Amino acid sequence: MDSSTIVEAVKKCRHTRSYWGRVVRR
């Protein structure tokens, strides 16, 4: 696994988490 791939995965995870957080906290 390349570090770039990990970074992308982390970014996606954070984005999805914040997105769900907003939907749930609606």
The per-residue pLDDT for range 1-26, each reduced to its tens digit, is 688 998 998 888 887 877 777 877 76
> 6: which 2 tokens?
């990990």
Q: How many residues are given for the chain? A: 26
> 24: which 2 tokens?
């749930």
For residues 20 and 6, give the distance between their C-alpha atoms in angstroms, rounded to a whole number. Answer: 21
Please report the pLDDT score of residue 4 as a whole number.
92
pTM score? 0.42
Please report the pLDDT score of residue 1 as a whole number.
67
Using the structure block, give the residue that is written with the tokens 């990990």: 6
What ranges do the domains of the chain cover? Answer: 1-26
